[in-house]
Amino acid sequence: MQKNLVIVESPAKAKTIEKFLGEDFKVMSSFGHIRDLKKKNFGVDLETFKPEYEIPADKVKVVNDLRAQAKKSEAVWLASDEDREGEAISWHLAEVLKIDPKDSRRIVFHEITKPAILAAIANPRHIDLNLVDSQQARRVLDRLVGFKISPILWRKVRPSLSAGRVQSVVVRLIVEREREIESFKSEASYRVTAIFSTPREGKELRAELNSRFKTKEEAMDFLQKCIGAEFKVANVNTRPAKRTPAPPFTTSTLQQEAARKLGFPVAQTMRVAQSLYEAGLITYMRTDSMNLSDLCLNACGPLITEKMGAEYHQRRHYHTSAKGAQEAHEAIRPTDMRRESIKASTQEMRLYDLIWKRTIACQMADAKMEKTVVGIDVSNATEQFVAQGEVIKFDGFLRVYRESLDNEGEGEGEDGSILPAVAEGDVLTRQEVTAQERFTLQPPRYTEASLVRKMEELGIGRPSTYGPTISTIQQREYVTRGEKPGTLRDYNVLTLAGNQIADETHTERTGADKGKLIPTDIGIVVNDFLCQNFHEIMDYNFTANVEKDFDTVAVGEKDWTELIRQFYDKFEVDVEKAINEKTDHKVGERQLGKDPVTGKTVVVKIGRYGPMAQIGTADEDDKPRFATLPAELSLSTITLEQALELFKLPRTLGDFEGHPVVASSGRFGPYVSHNKKFASLPKGEDPLEITLERAIEVILAKRETEAKSHLKQFDEEPELEIRAGRFGPYISYKGANYKIPKDAVSRAAELTLEECRNIIAADQQKPEKPTRRRTAAKTSAAKTVAAKKSTATKKTATKTAAKKTTAKKAKA
């Protein structure tokens, strides 16, 4: 019998750790948290702020299994993650397993390697109740904010909305940036560049004027001067420069760099990093420390010297500058620096490669450069042309890794090219001078990477919450990773070649964005309501200061319940005020004017299903008319004319197969409907202009696609069918989808009803992953399958009982 029980958070980690421990150890997983605050009555005693916990239904079996194994074991080792959340999980485990925290065996490790695990077993500690209190304070505060404000949003804005201490502040960042963009006024100027040839080698030398002109007249005047001017090299300055490698990854810098270099969303980066950590390939991935262990430093030196030479190695020590750094004690790095690559999924290999290169580069020598700046005088003008170049004399860490930058808002910079040889006094030959009209750039919209950087800068959240927060605000539809097509803009180009100046007008697209974070109308309305009614919660400093307060609780310097009380007393006043405040119109409603036909008021507002326009009011004799706002229109910018256009829909185009064909627009975009079936219009097609013939083509194309997706249906179970999907065949049942096992994919269309039911039942018996939330539909479907099996079992039991009764009577 195994004497020791080790409890970790995830099954993947359990498998890896079990390999390192002997036969006396049994490793089991808690699948994340095993207890949570009760759903009823806030789950918090509002007098004492004591949390009220319960074991969720989907964790009852997990807890029972852990209890049973703990009773058989002589020692229980609590090995959840090393952050505050992990400490709280260990405390909850101790509570349900009846282990006194003072007698607990709590082990932590920064990497899942045999030496690290054995060292942790050899050096256990007790549960840190200060860390647990810090996590409880965060959880209780977040529950109070969410459960108190969300119902107000349901009443004042729209049902099913939510607010959160961190998420709402992050939405505010994105809304404020969007408003900066909307109010931005671009200013034009003329940037002048020139191409010269050198006197000795005749090579091209490109330079830019050291000032810009505000008007076309000024630029034209300068080009006129250049026609007869002499261009002489006034000075040549060469100076040494160096570049220093970036420090090793923290959670936030990994998220930013993976977004820039690999195109990974923040949630994907953390998911892949979690897999690498659980496989024992990298250290713990939720950290704000930049420290590297001596083990890592001692491994990097010989490896760099062996591969590139001793001159490439420079030992460096890094220390975190973040206040309250508590998530871990080491940066994110490979557990074995000699493992340059791994065999895994493409995403895991790419992220591992990024981490390995960043780690090795931070222990390498600076790159040495030589920067050259050439000043070129214009004989009959005060302005001067400047040419800049850069030569790498020693590549150093650049041989392995170069850090990416957000290309947000940068103008034209140095090209880093090698300049041709010139000397002071050289007279250059003018080839071409160009004055191009340029415009100041609007503030950039946030990417996920730049938003993480801003959150870290303002102290909003912690490394472990950056990813979940950004995912949450998108899932709640407050923010979308959208596309802005931008607008076309003319710009002027003046070109001097020979003695002639050409004057041309070109066109460019400006303001176009792809994959940037854009607030939705609902996000903007909710943000404005919260800012107006809950100033403190929406204040950036409040959010950052609360995080600092949590840090003081974590080191035992502050009582967490007193911290909550100080907040709650003021917060409750704001809640009551917001509930009782009466307004003449709905939150977020905007009046556009009068309908010229009916004379009724036209407004836009948030409806039950999203942004909408309305003509008339409910208290008038005629019922009000409604129209859904398409995605390209916004509540804050839509005009009366645009709103009235929406009421031209729906349009009846004609009849097809005895049923009318109607073009309209809904919350998911434009579509055509026919005989209670709907087909989305392809991108770019306008429901106000589509013809009957084109609509019929769209309807028939949708039918064809639908027909191909239905592989098999069952008369005895109409809600269950086998379908072909984008990623292969699957089973659809009661609104939920179930993956068909690999060994059955080839014969998916031949599966029997019983086989399908078994696949659904098997899927529901799988343990739930810590990060996964099953849909209500799937749970409902599982219950239906279970109920049918239960009914069948009961019927069998009833028949058996009846047979026994008959037999007894016959015997009597």
What positions carry a catalytic annotation? Answer: 284
Largest CA distance in the chain: 130
What Cα–Cα distance (Å) separates residue 189 from each residue in 143, 489, 492, 510? 52, 14, 10, 16
Q: CA-CA distance, 201 to 197, in Å (whole number)?
A: 8
Cα(302)–Cα(270) distance, integer angstroms: 31
Rounded CA gap, 452 and 173, in Å? 11
Helix (H) or strand (E) holding 86: helix 84-96
Using the Cα atoms of residue 202, residue 208, residue 211 and residue 214 in order, give the sign of their dihedral: positive
Tokens of 450: 């730049």
Q: Which of 762, 506, 480, 750 is nearest to 631 (CA)?
A: 480
Report the alpha-carbon distance of residue 198 to residue 421 in Å, rounded: 8
Structural contact between residues 255 and 261, judged by C-beta atoms closer than 8 angstroms: no
Please give the Cα distance from 254 to 288 (Å, whole number): 11
* SS3 (DSSP) at 177: helix
3-state secondary structure of 44: strand
- The whole-angstrom separation of Cα 161 and Cα 150 is 6
Q: Both tokens of residue 666?
A: 């809904």
Count of H-run helices and E-run strands, the chain: 21, 28
**Residue entry with tokens 């007869």:** 228
Other beta carbons within 10 Å of 50: 12
- DSSP category for residue 642: H
Distance of CA 331 to the CA centre of its chain: 22
* Bridge partners for 416 per DSSP: none
159's tokens: 């049902």
> Which residue do the tokens 């998916």 mark?
748
CA-based nearest residue to 115, from 297, 295, 352: 295
CA distance 310 to 301: 8
Distances (CA, A) of 29 to 117, 464, 541, 759: 16, 20, 38, 24
Strands (E), 319-464: 367-378, 384-394, 427-439
Q: Is 385 helix (H, G, I), strand (E, B) or coil?
A: strand
Q: For residue 809, count other CB atoms closer than 10 A to its CB.
A: 8
Prior bond of 650 cis (ω within 30°): yes
The H or E element that residue 361 is part of is helix 346-361
- 311: DSSP letter: G
Q: Are 337 and 359 in contact (CB under 8 A)?
A: yes
Report helix angle 540-554 to 560-580, nearest 10.
Answer: 150
First-last CA distance in the chain: 51
Phi, psi of 230 (to 5 degrees): -105, 140
Dist. CA 222–CA 211, nearest whole Å: 11
Task: Yes or no: say if 257 and 247 are a contact pair by the CB < 8 Å rule.
Answer: no
Are residues 73 and 5 in contact, defined by beta-carbon separation less than 8 angstroms? yes
Beta strands 710-713 and 677-680, pairing class: unpaired
Alpha-helical (H) ranges within 111-188 are 114-122, 129-156, 167-183
Q: Which two tokens stand for residue 513?
A: 């964005």
Q: Is the distance from CB of 286 to CB of 253 less than 8 angstroms?
A: no
